[in-house]
Amino acid sequence: MSTGQLEDLHKYLLGIADNSLILGQRLGELCGHGPSLETDIALTNISLDLFGQVRSYFQYAAQIIADDKVTEDSLAFLRIEREYRNVLLVEQPNTDFGYTIARQFFFDAFHFLFLKELENSKDETLAAIAKKSIKEVSYHWRFSSDWIKRLGDGTQESHDRIQEAVNDLWMYTDELFHQTDADKEMIAQGIGVDTLAIKKSYYKMITEVLEEATLAIPESKYWHKGGKQGIHSEHMGYILSDMQYMQRTYPNMEW
């Protein structure tokens, strides 16, 4: 690959990894605060799965950049807010259990379809990461979609609260399919996933589960975006202040 193509691949890797990094951090905030012990452990395990995937992406991203100072740790902890390329959906707060599940549900459907396509990447490393990760993400999808059905078709209160969460987070889903210049370059090379090609399948998956859960499909056509360009919500700074505290407070520390 040329230098420019390697830079595009590096950016593409960060775009994939940052989604899982920030969502994993959000789920990590819930450790010890789940509504039941079983659910608490499940959410924590999903968080750990996401962090494990992030390590694979960041290790590869650091490997292809000719800079000894760039490591998986520096990519995770030492970038500034505008350098993160995650979608806005994953940085939304854990308002309540309904919001946590709705956020997970919307991301899991995309993540599953994305990895299915990434398995066919011409980049052998990316394809291998996808093959390993999809086993975990298929469980994530079953977990979140099952909870959507339980809450939607449960009590009146659980129905109303998950419907509110679905309505509020729906407007963040379209950004999942936005393509940056690096995305387009990787798609052209047969390395990246053409997210526009899976958009129809995504909303079909989402709609089928929501209907089974007796939940209304949101009608809003207004979409929030900007995260993939580094323009984040007000929540992102607070996430990074927690996540980066040790590295910022004790530079160059070693265990």
pLDDT tens-digit series, residues 113-122? 999 999 999 9
Lowest mean pLDDT among 14-28, 30-44, 45-59, 133-147: 30-44
**CA–CA dist 219, 160 (Å, integer):** 16
Average of per-residue pLDDT across 89-111: 97
Burial of 241 from C-beta contacts in 10 A (0-12 / 13-18 / 19+): exposed
- In which band, very low, low, confident or very high, does the pLDDT at 176 lie, cut at 50, 70 and 90? very high
- In which band, very low, low, confident or very high, does the pLDDT at 38 lie, cut at 50, 70 and 90? confident
User: Residues 133-151: pLDDT tens digits?
Assistant: 999 999 999 999 999 999 9
Structure tokens at 235: 């929540």
Single out the residue of 138, 166, 170, 173 nearest to residue 151, CA to CA. Answer: 166
Fill in the amino acid letter for 121. S
CATH code reported for the domain at 3-249 = 1.20.1260.10
Single out the residue of 176, 199, 192 nearest to residue 13, CA to CA. Answer: 192
SS3 content of the chain, % helix, strand, coil (to 5): 70, 0, 30
Chain centre distance of CA 60: 18
pLDDT of residue 33: 78
Residue with tokens 């997970």: 104
Delimit the domains of the chain by residue range: 3-249
Query: Residue 25: how many CA atoms within 13 Å on its side-chain side?
Result: 23
Structure tokens at 221: 């056509």
Dihedral pair phi/psi, residue 189, rounded to 5°? -90, 0
pTM of the model: 0.95
Structure tokens at 227: 């995260």
**CA–CA dist 107, 53 (Å, integer):** 15
Residue with tokens 């993160």: 84
Chain centre distance of CA 105: 11
Which strand (E) or helix (H) includes residue 178?
none
